[in-house]
Every structure is written in C-alpha cells, then in structure tokens.
Amino acid sequence: MVEPQPFVNDRDLAGSGQRRAVVIGGSLAGLLAARVLADHADSVTIVERDRFPQGPRSRAGVPQDRHTHVMLESGQQALETLLPGICAEMSEEGSPRVGLPNDLVAWQSGRWNRRTAATSHILTGTRPLTEWVVRRRVLADARIKVLEHTEVMGLLGNAARVRGVRIRERGPDAARRDGVALDAELVVDASGRASHAPDWLAALGAEPPRQETLETGLAYATRLYRRQPGAPEFPYGGIHFLPNPGQQRTGLLLPAEDGLWTVLLAGLRGSEPPTDEAGFEDFAGLLPHPVLRDWLRTAEPASPVHGFRNTANIRRRYDLPGRRPAGFLATGEALCSFNPTYGQGMSVAALSALALRDALNGQGGTPTTLRVQRALSGAARQAWEIATGADRKMPGARGSATRSTLLDRPADWYLGRVQRRSCGDPRVGAAFRKVLALSAPTTSLFAPAIARAVLFGPEPPAPAEPPARLE
C-alpha cells in the first residue's frame, strides 16, 4: 500500500483549497463515518442507493432491517461519545432498555441463567428506529450532504491513490448512462456485505483484499407481535435460546417500540425455520422449552413472517499489506460482517466510527491510510473472533475461516466451562456478558478470580425452568 501524508494535512490538497470526503452507503456505519469525517473535511458526501424514508421505516437497501436488532452496551457508549444524548433520544422514541440477566431469561447449554441484578443493558428498538434517530442527528450537520437514489459505479484514480468515485442516478435507464465524477481526497466504503470495492480496486490495477469466510447455513425468520388485550401477565422482559453444536435451533423474543415485540427463530442448514404462519409457530415448539411457543399463543401477529439467509461471517483483510491505493478505507460490513445471531453489527459500526475518529486524531501515529484501516479492522476483531469461534464448532460449518489451531482447543475447552458456569455464578456471568457485549476484552475471562471459579470451583446450580422472578 502506498502511504499518503495524513489526510487532514495532505500535500495533494494544497492546491485544491478544499478537503472532500465521500462515504459510500448511508446505513449506520456510513452515517457515523460521515459524522467523524465532518471534523476533518470541508465537505462530506454520502452516496446512497435508496431514498431515505421520512421516519423509522424499512427500506430496500437494508434487507435485514425487518429482523431483530440490538445495540450492545459498548455500541451505546460509542454512540454517546460521537453523538451525545443519542441513547436518550432513542429511548424517547420508544426503544426499550433491557437489563441482562434480570429482564431476559436465557437458555444455554441445557440450563437457564439465574435472574440476578443487571450488569449490562441492551437497546432493543427496531433497526429502522435506530437508523432514523442517528440519521436525523447526523444529517442536521450542514457539512454533510446526501446524494439519494444514486449508485457508485467505480473508483477514480489509480493503484497509487483514489481520487473520488463515478456515480449515476438510479432509474430504468441507468445502465445507459456513463455516470459523472465525484472528486474526493478520501473515499470510505460503507456499502455493506455486498460491497463491490474489491472489483473496483482491481479495475484500478490495485490488489483486492484477501477474504475470509465462515458460514453455517443459518437461516432465520422474524415476525412482529402485539400482546392480546387481557393476556396473562408476562413475567419476563424477553426470552433467548442460545445456539450450541447440540442445539441447532434458536429463538429470541424482545420488546420493540410502540408496544410491539419481535420474535426471531433461526436454524442451521437442514433446520431452517419456515416463513408461513403455521410453520413459524410450529418451529417455536421445537425449541428445548415451550415458553416461547406458549407466549406466541397469547399474542397477535402484527406483520408477515420475513426470512433471511445471507448470514455468513465475511472479513476482507484490507489491514494486511498489499498494493492498494491511498485515500480508500472500508468500514462496517464492507469490511467485516458477522452471523447476525450474535447481535454485534450495529455496535461494531459505532465502535468502528470511534476508532476512525481516534486514528484520524493521530492516536497510534500519523494517520496514514494503512494505520487508519488497521484501526478500523481492530475495532471489529473481537466481534469476529466471538462469532467465528462459536460458528466454527457448529456442524456443517464451511469456509476458509473454519480451520482451528492447536491453541484453539484449550481455549475452547476453557470458554466452554465459562459458558456453563455463567448460568449459575453471577460473577462469571457478569464477566462473560461484558465480553459478549464487547465492553471488555476476552482476556478478562482469564483474570485470577474468574479463572479460579472456572477451573477449580464446583459447577454452581442453575434453574431447570425459566425463573419467573428476579432474585
């Protein structure tokens, strides 16, 4: 990779009088990247294929936004740093705040978690609501503009430096248009897991990134519900059946805004949930306990059943050395996308924007393209290791990232003990949840007090039935 001078003080900008940045994609990762770049550029342009809805509504460019989403505690903290007060705005718009483990009864490895005091919280509003609240804040900045209903055709520049993008307005005759140039000193790809950037880089004579994949064939289906008037009191704030190699079906019930609840059902290859009404509810009856199926019988459907199958873990290694141009970065799912069952995507988008801010401010050295890209890749690393570490053990897992090392075996054995003890030991459970929430490094699970409990302590008792009350 050819190393530029810092983006914020690049010699190539000396004659232009302006520093211009382009962000490809206006989803959460793109919006937050634009917010950061606005402090380093004279203008930031987001190029978005869709027309943004006026309010918290689904859009075609985010096919997974009809499914259950959560914002982990680490993502909330990153959002607050970038957009102070944003989590309060989400709550004001109706996004519920669910405490773990007190509100959410969770089944894992044949046991239920104890319902002790919350040590972590998640926001469970729908993806359209979260994106709308963030979009409203970001686009209020006059330095940021959006080209809606516009697609990027390719990159401008050469193998040494990217100098913008070629764009065209979408429409029935778009294929006949050559497009126009949109010049920029920095281009950030936030176009999602279907990114075309590897092909665009190859067209410039540059080296596309190596790609790592791991997929389990997971498919999932989601439906919105409302509680029926006069339904029996529901003692839980949500229900979660976590997957493991011996349990290939997953279920999740969480509250959303406006009195709605989302129900997500998932299964590995060969155990996929159906998307018809009767089949969806029958699938819930195949989970290890009838609590979710019983809940469905007290609720009224508020949407069709929506299915989704594009669930592979994909990592593009832009952080590795290669003949790639200065002035180009990848973030969000264009860089690293995860099996959605782990609920990490939105939080990693926020953490990546925070990493972009810190890198451009010079933390870690002069903000060259490679250093900034490595910071972005580092922000996604723990989520990648959690998702692929769990998926690698699933039956039928495929892809280049399925290979394990000799060090993985003792680590997997130890983390298996952590997971089982987290159900009944509040201290181990709190540490485990912080790691899953990306609020603490995985190494924190090896701290002396946790290691003693995991290695030498007896396996603590855990409830055999979903506990109806907080301890």
User: What is the per-residue pLDDT for 11?
Assistant: 36
Cα separation, 471 vs 467, in Å, equals: 9
Domain boundaries 7-63+132-213+311-388, corresponding CATH code = 3.50.50.60
Query: Which residue type occupies 30?
Result: G
């690293």: which residue's tokens?
336
Low-confidence ranges of the chain (pLDDT < 70): 1-17, 174-176
H or E element at residue 422? helix 408-422
327: exposed, middle or buried (Cβ count in 10 Å: 0-12, 13-18, 19+) = buried
User: What is the per-residue pLDDT for 174?
Assistant: 67
Same fold, 7-63+132-213+311-388 and 93-126+215-308: no
Topology classification of domain 93-126+215-308? D-Amino Acid Oxidase; Chain A, domain 2 (3.30.9)
Q: Is the dihedral of CA 73, 74, 77, 79 positive or negative?
A: negative
Two tokens, residue 110? 């044949």
Q: Where are the domains of the chain?
A: 7-63+132-213+311-388, 93-126+215-308, 408-455
Residue pair 327/333 in contact by the 8 Å Cβ criterion = no
Gyration radius (Cα) of the chain, Å: 23
Q: Which stretches does DSSP call E strand in 148-198?
A: 150-157, 162-169, 180-183, 186-189
User: What is the per-residue pLDDT for 3?
Assistant: 40
With H, G, I as helix, E, B as strand and everything else as coil, classify residue 117: coil
User: What is the per-residue pLDDT for 317?
Assistant: 98
Cα separation, 29 vs 351, in Å, equals: 9
- Convert 258-280 to b/e letters by CB count within 10 Å (16 or more is b): eebbbbbbbbbbebbbbbeeeeb
Residue pair 127/64 in contact by the 8 Å Cβ criterion = yes
Q: Could you tell me the end-to-end alpha-carbon distance of the chain, in angstroms, rounded to an integer?
A: 56
Give the CA angle between residues 438, 357, 196 to the nearest 5°.
80
